[in-house]
Amino acid sequence: MGAHCDNTEYYVFGTTSWGRLVFCGSPRRYEPRYFRSLPMRGVKLENSLCQGYENSVAQGFDGRYLFCQALDGKPLWRAKVD
């Protein structure tokens, strides 16, 4: 965790040497680095329902980083927004 990484949109997940799931992120537009991940829910279809998985992440079929977010009361897998 904390190591430099390059891509914050596609194929962002990795594991540490002790098995912890991490993702490549760029907080407040600083240089990207690896952070502890929210719970991973597998590979999901972007904009599909994710009820019950709020505050979780997934990978899209194209490798995109997705998170479960409810907007207008409808929880959907959405691509990360910078």
Rounded mean pLDDT of 25-47?
92
Higher-confidence residue of 72 and 64: namely: 64
Coil, helix or strand at residue 27: helix
Number of domains forming the structure of the chain = 1
Tell me the pTM. 0.84
Quote the domain boundaries for residue 53.
13-79
Residue 44 inside a domain? The answer is yes
Q: Given this model, what pLDDT does residue 81 score? A: 59
Residue 3 inside a domain? The answer is no
Residue 47 inside a domain? The answer is yes
Residue 39 inside a domain? The answer is yes
Residue 9 zone, left/alpha/beta (φ > 0; ψ -120 to 50; rest) = alpha
79 burial class (0-12, 13-18, 19+ CB within 10 angstroms)? middle
